[in-house]
Amino acid sequence: MLPFREHSLHIAVGETSPRRMTIIRGWVAVVTAGMLITSTGPAFASSGSARIDDGFEAALIVLLDRNPGTTRDEMIEAATVVATESGQVMREVIVAAAREAEAQELPEGGDGTRLGVGADIVIPASNFKGDVFYSPVSTLGVTHGHSGIFSTLQTIVEAPGPGKQVRNTNRSNVKVASGSHQQVVNTTQAKRDKAVTKALTFVGRAYNLNFAFNKTANGAMNCSQVVWVAYKDGSGIDLDANGGNGVYPIDIKNSSHTSTYRIVK
């Protein structure tokens, strides 16, 4: 029989609602069960749970409360991804997101803070095959953006996100945020076509969580990687505005090789 410990949680909140206490108790039960079943020592650290810091746990509770159905581990994983993409520390992302969540007004008829939405406009048709788009979408309050390339005027190749494959899809199924940029790549149509051909070969690839080192055509791919590699390998055009080992959606938008012809509103 493994040793059983009860861990009390210090939550820096003024008042804790009964529902939040239920969440806390539930989490303790899960962690404790994990220790009994799987651990051979101080398993608390190995369960994947973060160390308890003032503010962090309270912030996490706020976010979980605002996103019913999302588990603690899922929230931490998402924050880790966002932190990686934005160069922040995961805890900072959680705390900042919770502050923003509490500061937001609830939309009429809604039931919670919209922490990951903003994409509610169907993206218009492009002017040319090979056009690219940038959508200023955010998660947990951090604008990470999203990129894609038009394989035809009406279809898009994009890497949607963590756990998703690179897709070839109709644009009617793709919604972007207000303020999105549709851009043409300043080159010949023949080179745009070559980039499209290259992009189509990525359809079906798994998602690459690493934005910091994503200038490769091998293996999993993320959204800006699909666009950048399509043009770099397909046509020899480097769409990264600031160089380095990683290319982010905003880097493509800011590239000197791209020109905005439509801002979606």
Partner 1 sequence: MFNVTTSVSTSQRGYARVRWWHAVTGAVAIALPLSGCAAHGRNTVSQLQEVDWESVVAVAVMAPQASTNWLGGGGQVTVMNRDGSTAVVSMSAMDVGAASWTNHGLIFSDQHHDYLIEGDGSVSAFESLKPDYQDGLVSLDNGTRVGFFNGGYADDGSYDEVVTTIDHSGSTQHRSTEWSQVFAACGNSAYGIAQIIPEGSPQHTTLSMRILLSDGKPADRGIATHTSAFSETAFAAPAVPCLDDEIVFISSQDVATGSLNRVPATDSPYRDPDSGFECQLVNDGYGHLSCPTVERWNVRTGQRLIVPIQTTGVPGVDWSENSAYLARYDQNSLVEGFLYWLHPSGVLLQTDISNGHTATLATLPGTELNLGDFLTGNVDYLVDIQDSVMSVLRFSPNGKGTFPTEILSYAIPDGALVSRTEFPEFLRDNSANYIVRSIAVNPTLTL
Per CB under 8 A, the list member of 50, 203, 241, 250 interacting with partner 1 is 203
Question: Whole-number minimum distance, CB 196 to partner 1, in Å?
Answer: 5
- Cα separation, 203 vs 168, in Å, equals 6
- Cα separation, 97 vs 93, in Å, equals 6
Q: What does the longest C-alpha to C-alpha distance in the chain come to?
A: 71
Question: Whole-number minimum distance, CB 244 to partner 1, in Å?
Answer: 23
Q: Which is nearer to partner 1, 90 or 223 (CB)?
A: 223
* Total of chain residues touching partner 1, rule CB under 8 A: 80
139 near partner 1, rule: CB under 8 A = yes
Written as one letter, the residue type at 18 is: P
> Binding segment for partner 1 among 17-25, 88-96, 169-177, 250-258 (CB under 8 A)?
169-177
Question: Count of CB atoms within 10 A of residue 254's CB?
Answer: 15
Per CB under 8 A, the list member of 8, 111, 218, 256 interacting with partner 1 is 111
Question: Whole-number minimum distance, CB 76 to partner 1, in Å?
Answer: 10
Per CB under 8 A, the list member of 3, 41, 42, 112 interacting with partner 1 is 112
Angle subtended at Cα 125 by Cα 259 and Cα 192, rounded to the nearest 5 degrees: 50
- Chain position carrying tokens 């070969």: 201
262 near partner 1, rule: CB under 8 A = yes
Q: Which 4-43 positions form the footprint of partner 1 (CB under 8 A)?
A: none
Question: Whole-number minimum distance, CB 243 to partner 1, in Å?
Answer: 26
Question: Whole-number minimum distance, CB 74 to partner 1, in Å?
Answer: 5
Q: Which 119-138 positions form the footprint of partner 1 (CB under 8 A)?
A: 119-122, 124-125, 127, 129, 135, 137
What residues pair up with 263 in beta bridges, in sequence order?
181
204 near partner 1, rule: CB under 8 A = yes
Q: Which 40-99 positions form the footprint of partner 1 (CB under 8 A)?
A: 67-71, 73-75, 77-78, 81-82
191 near partner 1, rule: CB under 8 A = no
- Cα separation, 265 vs 254, in Å, equals 19
- Cα separation, 147 vs 91, in Å, equals 26
Q: Which is nearer to partner 1, 107 or 243 (CB)?
A: 107
Q: Which is nearer to partner 1, 16 or 168 (CB)?
A: 168
173 near partner 1, rule: CB under 8 A = yes
